Structure 1
Amino acid sequence: MDTNKRPQFGNRLLNDVDQVFQHNAWDHVEWSAEQEEDAKKKVDENSAVRVDPDKFEKFEMDANKYWDEFYGIHQNRFFKDRRWLFTEFPEIAPDVPPESDTNEESKQNQLKADVSSKEMTADISLKSDHSGSVPPKTLNATENHNAVSKHTYILEVGCGVGNTVFPILQTSPDPNLFVYCCDFSSTAVQLVKEHPEYNDKRCHAFVCDITSDEWNAPFPPDSLDFVLLIFVLSAIHPEKLANVVKKLFYYLKPGGMVMFRDYGRYDMAQLRFKKGRCLSENFYARGDGTRVYFFTQDELKQLFEDAGFQEKENVIDRRLQVNRGKLLKMYRIWIQAKYQKPCV
């Protein structure tokens, strides 16, 4: 497969450099050799001074504290809802049944705005085939999972305040869709549960340190259809990533799939770090104490394939964002990937 071909996201191409400030963003922007070399030099410079070992340990030990503080400050005002996920990952595009009432027509119109007709017919063959009916509210989460019939089970890891969870639930009224979501931050999970559209018949939010050996997950092994990893693995110590991916493999059903999107090597965010913020190679601490790692396609491939996954997609999303008011250019690099657990 061509791991550099970029599908799906946008087709606004910058064919005339004199027009760069005509739009807020341009897709598929390739770098010159000189630009690539300049990026490498900036990373070498900002990595020359490493964080003191004692502080390094503090960032690891207090990771949940930093994220609690982050969500305590920003609440639900920091991130926008991620409706673009239905375009980038059409496998999770909701299958909306037709309804006659005006409220449902409104939902259909919103769906059409977010999801193309091609994505509306996305393959839903990964659905579960449990027996039974939708469980009453009094059952616990594990009992719910085992009792529900023909459900599609999604887990979002690192759910934050629900900017992925609620667009999924809002867009699809399908009673056979159940979303689990977890976060390291208890503050974030509490904000999800306080959301007016949180419904424990369709969603279950829980606190989880995914780097631990035991998750106390509210679902059994081999049961999830999809796992969403959207800008979350980058926040984890690189040495702990292999164990996290193995746990995802353990909980996905055969044929289940991981949907991944995160920071790529030499993204603007990496180039902007000052000396003294580097924890280890390509791993940094932000000013608020949260951490971020910048991936390459090759190491992502090895990480997932070593855990037993099969690669279905691994692409670079290079985008040029511009501030037209200040005439600033911002080069973003993200990696998007799909990894599937082999069918037995």
Structure 2
Amino acid sequence: MAAPREAPEPRLFGRRFLTDPARLFQHNAWDNVEWSEDQEASARSKVQENSSQLLPQDKQEEYEVNAKRYWDEFYKIHENGFFKDRHWLFTEFPELAPNRNPSQNGDSVHEFSNKDDSNNEGLGSCENGHCSLETRAENQLNLIKSTPKICTEELATQKYSELNQSDGDYPGSSASYRILEVGCGAGNTVFPILQTNNDPGLFVYCCDFSTTAVDLVQNNAEYDSSRCFAFVHDLCNDQSPFPMPDKSLDVVILIFVLSAILPEKMQCIVNRLSRLLKPGGMILLRDYGRYDLAQLRFKKGQCLSDNFYVRGDGTRVYFFTQDELDDLFTTAGLEKIQNLVDRRLQVNRGKQMTMYRVWIQCKYRKPATPQL
């Protein structure tokens, strides 16, 4: 029996609805697609099948120990060419835009740009188990490929030790609005923020587990050290220091990042990030939802634990429910502003293919006064 459906959220993503099946291939994507009970049952059956055979514990430990190496190899291969520009970023997260209005928190428009694109062969493509979120936009980020410079975790840690945070002497200490993106990759979120938000009080921090990814950011022509600080950071190591003190950040961004972490370590990580927020500061998240296309495409032998998988390249991914994310954030002392499921039907008109995507978008705020 299918689980009872929750009442629909008052706000939905996008405004292009598929009311006539005959029009399926007229557009690249359709918004707010309702799943039938049969479709949901089929998805649940596929997940049960692909998770029926778990990897041995010694192999699971090997993937955990070598996680950094796998992500370094991923970015060495793809550099900045895999993840496309996030043209929905400022629509969904107005907190990142110039002239931000605090009253907009939780009240985003939820309208994605569904521009027609006759050359959409890459739409919703999955490569080695990585399914890109973004549909094509009118302008793609022109991230510059360049020779990586030396940047090691040891050097980054040494640099942090030279900071005197207690005296307010740290990167971005004079800023009036501070954003941290965790898991910045090649900069597909950081650079749109720097290019779009001309607030003179803005300072953006960005970190990644992968040294190669941070190198790509630092070597990008758009990288401006007066407005941005990129650093290597292991979220799972609670002894790994941040370059900024607690209660100093206005926004923490988590876009397809938390899903790459061992599930039993997620709570400690969210707790750490919560401590970095000022009272009233927010965590913005977008990540994979349960029964997304990427989850259904896994084969037997790739499952590590419930809804947690390893891709062919060694990187890992978890698929969330709304309740799981709500538990993580509220346990960390944050209050819910937004927790929505975004169900979309993406269409590859060239190949006459349909792809059902499921993502979750959340906004959680640190209370202005401590909770009792």
TM-score, reference length from structure 2: 0.79
Name the aligned partner's letter for residue 25 of structure 1: A
Correspondence 1:138-153 to 2 at 5 A:
142=165, 143-145=169-171, 147-149=173-175, 151-153=176-178
Distance 2:38 2:289 in 1: 18
Correspondence 1:1-344 to 2 at 5 A:
4-5=8-9, 7=11, 9-95=13-99, 122-123=101-102, 142=165, 143-145=169-171, 147-149=173-175, 151-344=176-369
The verdict on how the C-alpha distance between 1:147 and 1:51 changes in structure 2, with shifts beyond 3 A counting, is closer
* Percent identical residues: 59
Question: Shift of the alpha carbon at 1:141?
Answer: 9.0
Q: Secondary structure at the match of 1:60?
A: helix
Total equivalences in the alignment: 305
Q: Secondary structure at the match of 1:218?
A: coil
Distance 2:199 2:164 in 1: 19
Distance 2:80 2:12 in 1: 28
Name the aligned partner's letter for residue 365 of structure 2: Q
The verdict on how the C-alpha distance between 1:10 and 1:141 changes in structure 2, with shifts beyond 3 A counting, is farther
Give ranges in structure 1 of 5+ residues lacking alignment: 96-120, 127-138
RMSD between superposed Cα atoms in Å: 1.9
Give ranges in structure 2 of 5+ residues lacking alignment: 1-5, 106-161
Question: Shift of the alpha carbon at 1:214?
Answer: 2.1
Distance 1:215 1:301 in 2: 26
Question: Shift of the alpha carbon at 1:340?
Answer: 0.5
Distance 1:6 1:315 in 2: 10
The verdict on how the C-alpha distance between 1:79 and 1:6 changes in structure 2, with shifts beyond 3 A counting, is farther
Question: Shift of the alpha carbon at 1:123?
Answer: 2.3
Distance 1:124 1:38 in 2: 41
Distance 1:307 1:260 in 2: 15
Q: Contact between 1:46 and 1:274, CA under 8 Å: does it hold in 2?
A: yes
Distance 2:360 2:61 in 1: 28
TM-score, reference length from structure 1: 0.85
Moved more, 268-277 or 320-329: 320-329
Q: Secondary structure at the match of 1:311?
A: strand
User: What residue in structure 2 maps to residue 133 of structure 1?
Assistant: none
The verdict on how the C-alpha distance between 1:231 and 1:146 changes in structure 2, with shifts beyond 3 A counting, is closer
- Return the structure number with greater helix share: 1
